[in-house]
Amino acid sequence: LTIEGELRQGLDNDEFEPFFQPIVDLDTGEIAGFEALARWRKPDRGLIPPIEFIGVAEQTGLIREIDAVVLASAWKSLASAQEAVAGKKGRSTKPLFLSINIAAENFVDMQLVANVRKLLGTAGFDPSLLKLEITESGLINSPEIAYRVLTELRSLGVSIALDDFGTGYSSLSYLHRFPIDSLKIDRTFVNALASSDRSRAIVRTIVGLGQSMSLKVIAEGIEEESTADMLREMGLQYGQGYHYSMPVGRASMQQMLLGGG
């Protein structure tokens, strides 16, 4: 079987699932949401990370189906985990958001909009709790259609995050042209905070940009408490990274919620 054939078979056998990495409110230290990251649970090989299959999935167009499956599964898992935790705690807890990566290939027609609309219709979950992470590459090839897709998604109440912010070649132009709610500061800037004046200047600038445009700003790749402290002092709202947790499976995600306030 070719890799494409294996991906096809994996989809038919329901082998794609989300892992979850917490996104933390830097002021309170509480979990505000999760980023869902795809994994391929392949019977003969175990758990395969995205780096090994996202590229081929993009080239073959199968990423569209994978993104749809992972989105629906993550949304359901997060809802049922929160329900279970509320049941065990005997009270409802603050609703958490779900942030999920959506590949460029989804921005060429309205299928994604249809998928999201269907999802919002079936699961009782507030649309504003869904955040779709896109990269600039998703907007480059057919900007008119991408604009329509994003505008439709926004009208459903879903929010849009620009992922890996600062690493593209014209981030500001995309911010200017597209309806974007949040910025995810790329981890290369976050990792270098302690050692580089330039990184600090860049992060400060992104925070200021976020404030003046009313965008939420999220720092990726926080690996140390000292980095979290610096980010908090700079006015960052949200952070994620190995300092808090690696991406984990559904059961561990629920356990994490049970452990917290």
For Na ion, the binding residues (CB under 5 A) are 101, 163
Query: Does residue 63 belong to the site contacting ligand G (CB under 6 A)?
Result: yes
Query: Does residue 247 belong to the site contacting ligand G (CB under 6 A)?
Result: yes
Q: Which stretch binds Mn ion (CB under 5 A): 96-104, 141-149, 198-206, 243-251?
A: 96-104
Q: Say if residues 241 and 187 touch (Cβ distance below 8 Å).
A: yes
Of these partners, Na ion, ligand G, Mn ion, none, which one is at the site of residue 51 (CB under 5 to 8 Å by kind)? Answer: ligand G
CB-nearer residue toward Mn ion: 85 or 100: 100
Query: Does residue 168 belong to the site contacting ligand G (CB under 6 A)?
Result: no
Which position among 82, 101, 115, 199 is part of the footprint of ligand G (CB under 6 A)?
101
Task: Please give the residues from 143 up to 162 whose contact with Mn ion meets the rule CB under 5 A.
Answer: none
Question: Residues interacting with ligand G, by CB under 6 A?
Answer: 21, 37-38, 49-51, 54, 63, 67, 70, 101, 103, 163-164, 187, 220-223, 241-242, 247
